[in-house]
């Protein structure tokens, strides 16, 4: 039998519709569904009621990393980049499909990532210890690698300022073992630095923190939050999240104020929402691991509990209301009742 073009198209459309119908009415999974609200949500204060979504499930998209970190969202491409540090690769989570694929391999044990205001990816690398930018043509620009003639320790996390200046932390975790970089003695005290395209070397803006780790910029663009994972090397010191006032276009940090302090858990990656609440990744064992949410005054108002230690997080999606979490070996998401910055 010979089909004319119109008949062929009609038959193809009918076949596609049948296929979609078959998928739509496929047999349900044998897995028993969880009840709403998801057990991941933990409301500790009435102020959190507006931020958790009753019928939002915790979704695990992937669990094949070794230690995943540093997510950054690209709104144009609708994807997030994150790092699988021990495997020295950058990964790509697709918002549309939920699938994860390798973006780049052999990337110097990348950790924190961020997109600048031109859509270029900026990354912190452990080994070699440097901050790099991926240009539109695929070439690589090294923004920082040394300070006063000495190698940086192992840049960790970063934020991009309005004028494209960059603040980054340099605690040195990638130099403590070969697993996440190259084991070597630190040549510099842990610190936070500023760098831009006009500088041959970064400017050290503070060395007040024992192990400066995650950083986040407030909506006013004049306040920087920074976590300190001090207990990893000084067990008697508390883990803290501090805020600083930015001055001199980001080249100085002043007026440190400790917002959160704990001897029971550690705070790593941090982000802020439009209401000034602080969302922080947490490690501390069962009942702690996941994300803690702090009101602007520092009160903990809620948690998102995960079965793994959470290292970092970022808000994704068109409305920035979906929280993506990089946790040990896995990537999770959950929809929230707020929007991230």
Q: How far apart are CA 20 and CA 252, in angstroms?
A: 58
Place 28 in a pLDDT band, splitting at 50, 70 and 90. low
CB atoms within 10 A of CB 114: 23
Residue 308 domain flag? yes
* CA dihedral over 267, 203, 111, 187, signed as positive or negative: negative
pLDDT at position 21 over 50: no
pLDDT at position 9 over 50: no
Place 4 in a pLDDT band, splitting at 50, 70 and 90. low
Domain count, the chain: 1
- Residue whose tokens read 């044990």: 109
Listed in order, strand segments (DSSP E) in 63-99 are 68-74, 79-84, 89-94
Residue 36 domain flag? no
Residue 301 domain flag? yes
Residue 25 domain flag? no
For residue 119, what are the contacts with CB-CB under 8 A and spacing of at least 6?
74, 76, 136
Q: Identify the CATH number of the domain in which residue 70 sits.
A: 2.120.10.30
Residue 184 domain flag? yes
Residue 217 domain flag? yes
Residue 181 domain flag? yes
Give the tens place of pLDDT for each residue, 76-110: 999 999 999 999 999 999 999 999 999 999 999 99
Per-residue CA distances from 183 to 128, 168, 282 (Å): 11, 21, 25
Give the tens place of pLDDT for each residue, 210-252: 999 999 999 999 999 999 999 999 999 999 999 999 999 999 9
**Domain span holding position 94:** 42-335
Give the tens place of pLDDT for each residue, 258-311: 999 999 999 999 999 999 999 999 999 999 999 999 999 999 999 999 999 999
Lateral strand order in the sheet of 158-160: 158-160, 166-170, 191-195, 203-206
pLDDT at position 11 over 60: no
Residue 33 domain flag? no
Instruction: State the average pLDDT for the chain.
Output: 92
């Amino acid at each position: 039998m010979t089909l004319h073009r119109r008949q062929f198209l009609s038959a193809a459309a009918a076949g596609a519709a049948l296929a979609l119908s078959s998928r739509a009415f496929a047999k349900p999974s044998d897995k028993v569904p969880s009840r709403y609200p998801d057990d991941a949500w933990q409301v500790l204060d009435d102020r959190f009621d507006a931020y958790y979504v009753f019928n939002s499930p915790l979704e695990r998209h992937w669990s094949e990393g070794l230690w995943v970190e540093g997510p950054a969202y690209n709104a144009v491409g609708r994807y997030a980049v994150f790092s699988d540090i021990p495997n020295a690769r950058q990964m790509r989570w697709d918002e549309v499909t939920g699938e994860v694929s390798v973006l780049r391999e052999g990337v110097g044990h990348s950790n924190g990532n961020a997109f600048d205001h031109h859509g270029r990816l900026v990354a912190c690398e452990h080994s070699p210890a440097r901050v790099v930018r991926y240009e539109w043509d695929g070439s690589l620009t090294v923004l920082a690698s040394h300070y006063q003639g000495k190698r940086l320790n192992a840049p960790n996390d970063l934020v991009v300022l309005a004028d494209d200046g960059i603040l980054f932390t340099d605690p040195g975790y990638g130099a403590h073992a070969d697993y996440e970089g190259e084991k070597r003695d630190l040549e510099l005290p842990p610190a936070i630095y500023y760098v831009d395209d006009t500088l041959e070397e970064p400017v050290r803006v503070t060395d007040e923190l024992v192990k400066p780790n995650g950083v986040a910029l407030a909506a006013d663009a004049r306040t920087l939050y920074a976590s300190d994972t001090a207990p990893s090397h000084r067990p008697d010191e508390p883990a803290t999240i501090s805020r600083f006032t930015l001055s001199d276009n980001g080249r100085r940090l002043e007026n440190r104020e400790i917002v959160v302090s704990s001897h029971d858990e550690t705070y790593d990656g941090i982000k802020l929402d439009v209401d000034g609440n602080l969302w922080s990744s947490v490690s501390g064992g069962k009942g702690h691991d996941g994300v803690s949410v702090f009101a602007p005054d520092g009160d903990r108002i809620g948690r998102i509990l995960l079965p793994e230690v959470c290292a970092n997080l970022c808000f994704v999606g068109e409305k920035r209301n979906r929280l993506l979490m990089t946790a040990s070996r896995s990537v999770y998401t959950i929809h929230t009742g707020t929007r991230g910055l």
